[in-house]
Structure 1
Amino acid sequence: MPLIKRGIEPTNLSRSHVSSGVKNELECVTNNTLANVIRQLSSLSKHAEDMFGELYNETGSVLRRANQLQDRVDKLKVKVTQLDSTVEEGQYSVWHVRTYALVI
């Protein structure tokens, strides 16, 4: 069963009680229907503004996260370019031997 996040009101545009003293019933129903259509469009507009606001906030969040990831990638690029493969390999093998010696 879906949960309704936003509901547009009024749903029944032409359902209204016409007073017995009204001279032109058709005009009364037409005016009420038009007024309800305007209310419905107003409700739709409000929900559209809410949706675009949420979309704006979400895209801002994605942009911040993407910028943070780009900063991390840039830092890693700098570190990788500074690496000297011969020095690092020797240091790694010494560290590996020391770790192995501690395990035994």
Structure 2
Amino acid sequence: MPFVQRQVYPVHLAGREIPENVENPLECVSNQTLCDAMRQLASLLKHADTMFSDLELNCGKISTRTQKLKDRLTILDENVEKYNPKKEKIPAGDLVEFSRLKNHYKREYVETKNLFQPNSRPISVHIMYQHARNTTTQVEGREEVSYVCVPIFSSSSSKQKFKNFEVETQQSDLYAEISKF
């Protein structure tokens, strides 16, 4: 199932009841439909704006990464130009001598961490998380209750208190709309 990031509102253009005191019901329906179509266009425009702002942010990140690669290639090009193979001493020997070497070439790879942070989310997903933060579940005979399931791993301290839950544990407002399909 595709991940719905944006939904255009209102979903239905003409499905409302017509008030009884209306003289011309056809004109009323056409006005309601026109108003809802304009609301849909406004919603679509808002989503287009967020999509282009996300695109701008991604292009900026790609530009920064490209500049870093260009700088690195310039440095490597300079090192290759400085290299003189005639001055470099090539060790002659066999595997026994090679195994006695203590300083072998070693490359350090930096591990990228914290890739999926709240600040790296697209704007549309951030808005969905804000909507999910405000959802509650209605239980018959009780007041509104929020249900949250938090895993506690064995390595964590038993005295640790969970005050700020991440909104991934909550159901989105769009769930009712998505479940209709």
TM range (shorter): 0.7 to 0.9
Match of 1:36 in 2: 36
Match of 2:65 in 1: 65
Distance 1:99 1:71 in 2: 35
Distance 2:26 2:36 in 1: 15
Match of 1:51 in 2: 51
Q: 1:34-90: per-residue Cα shift (whole Å, max 9, x none)?
A: 1000000000000001111111111111111111001000001111111111112x1
1:101 to partner: Cα distance? 3.5
Distance 2:21 2:75 in 1: 80
Distance 2:47 2:75 in 1: 42
More helix by share: 1
How many matched pairs? 100
Distance 1:75 1:57 in 2: 28
Distance 2:101 2:67 in 1: 42
Match of 1:15 in 2: 15
Identity across aligned pairs (percent)? Answer: 35
Match of 2:91 in 1: 93
Secondary structure of the residue aligned to 2:20 is coil
Secondary structure of the residue aligned to 2:50 is helix
Distance 1:8 1:99 in 2: 67
Q: Which amino acid aligns with 2:91?
A: S
Distance 2:91 2:46 in 1: 65
